[in-house]
Structure 1
């Protein structure tokens, strides 16, 4: 069976999970323990980042490399067009997702956490005691902003990221006005990359991720709730409903080891 070494909350892992589900492949999710688990991951793959896919003796790191491997090894339900123009557009949009939406949505998520107390506490595990949730919710936004400076998330950097994301989503919404998918009449790598990597902007509204139920459908204020991007999020909801398997149909993170095991 395919094994996906992952963080459940990683949007790059979500990109891969969407592809695996679309292709109808059975896989086991193995949650990597931050820190010590990543040392084991390095021993296995030569690097510390997730996602990593293990297929027998094959070890593939990086979401794009995994997508291309799955396309070669499991060609049923293809995700990369053969038409040259469509293929080029597919790769361009995937690059947009990886290098713009994927990176800048982290800053947007931080912005949402600093603005909205309820959004902040909703990210905590459901087992978190109420008193701890109250403490996290009570952290002043100004203090979070100071902490963000140490992580390269200055107010100017966050504003620039939010502006760029709004421009990306506006362009994608216009592409989707008169077509079911971003490239052609079938979903492609571009669709799954854009859908998965927009997860931090707005979490999918359904039982697809092992996150607190009250976080489903929530996102960055001013983007996730904006009517300007309704076309985009409606498209993404349909993509999830059609192709993403709910948690009841796939293994959950709890079914695998909490740290990876090296054969």
Structure 2
């Protein structure tokens, strides 16, 4: 069986989960605890990031490489078009989404966590004791913003990320206004990349992620609740309803390797 070494709130892991579900492939999620450690996944792939896919003796790291591997090894319901124009558009959008929605989305999310204590504690792993969650929630947002400045997550970086994401979401909403998918009449890697990477902008409302119920359907203020981008999130929700399998119907179990650093 396929094994996906992943982090539940990793957008790049979600991109792969969407592809696996679309192709109807059975897989086992192996949750990787963020932090130090790194032994299990590092031994497997020679690097520290998730997602990592294990298919028998074959190990593939990086969500894009995993997508290409799955399309070669399991060609039913292909996700990469053969038509030259559609293939080019698909690959261009996928690369853009990784670098734009993926990276800027993470910066915007950290900004939202800094300013919203309840939001901050709700995304912590469920196994963390309540008293530690309370301590995290009690840290002043201004202090977190100052600390974030030194590592690229300060107020200006957050502001620029949100500005860019607003333009991205407006563009996607316009593109999807009169078409079912981004590239063709069938979903492609471009669609699964954009949908999966937008996960942290607004969490899906259904039972797709192992997150607290109060987080489902919620997201970054100014993005998730902005009616200008409603068309995009409606499209994303339809994609989930059509192709993403709810929890407990996709995987046959979970286990946890030694902690590693995440993307």
Pairwise TM-score range, normalised by the shorter structure: over 0.9
| SS of residue paired to 1:248 | coil
Q: 1:180 to 1:108 in 2, by over 3 A?
A: same
Equivalent in the alignment of 2:255: 257
**Does the 8 Å contact 1:37/1:259 carry over to 2?**
no
Q: CA deviation at 1:122?
A: 1.7
Distance 1:188 1:18 in 2: 11
| SS of residue paired to 1:199 | helix
Q: 1:227 to 1:239 in 2, by over 3 A?
A: same
**Does the 8 Å contact 2:120/2:137 carry over to 1?**
yes
Q: CA deviation at 1:131?
A: 4.4
Q: CA deviation at 1:36?
A: 5.2
Q: Which deviates more from structure 2 when the two are superposed, residues 120-129 or residues 159-168?
A: 120-129
Equivalent in the alignment of 1:76: 76
| SS of residue paired to 1:5 | strand
What are the superposed Cα offsets for residues 156-187 of structure 1, whole Å, 9 maximum, x if unpaired?
11111111111111111110000011111110
**Does the 8 Å contact 1:4/1:28 carry over to 2?**
yes
**Does the 8 Å contact 1:38/1:48 carry over to 2?**
yes
Distance 1:224 1:188 in 2: 24
Equivalent in the alignment of 1:39: 39
Equivalent in the alignment of 1:180: 180
TM-score by length of 2: 0.93
Distance 1:38 1:128 in 2: 20
Distance 2:19 2:217 in 1: 21
* Corresponding pairs, count: 258
Distance 1:39 1:74 in 2: 29
Equivalent in the alignment of 2:154: 154
Equivalent in the alignment of 1:166: 166
TM-score by length of 1: 0.93
Distance 1:6 1:119 in 2: 22
RMSD: 1.6
Q: CA deviation at 1:127?
A: 5.1
Equivalent in the alignment of 1:52: 52
**Does the 8 Å contact 2:3/2:53 carry over to 1?**
yes
**Does the 8 Å contact 2:41/2:257 carry over to 1?**
no
Equivalent in the alignment of 1:210: 210
What are the superposed Cα offsets for residues 208-247 of structure 1, whole Å, 9 maximum, x if unpaired?
1111111111111000100010000000000001100010
Distance 1:215 1:79 in 2: 30
Equivalent in the alignment of 1:116: 116
Distance 2:120 2:63 in 1: 27
Q: CA deviation at 1:137?
A: 2.6
Q: Which protein, 1 or 2, shows the higher relative CO under an 8 Å CA cutoff with sep ≥ 6?
A: 2
| SS of residue paired to 1:30 | strand
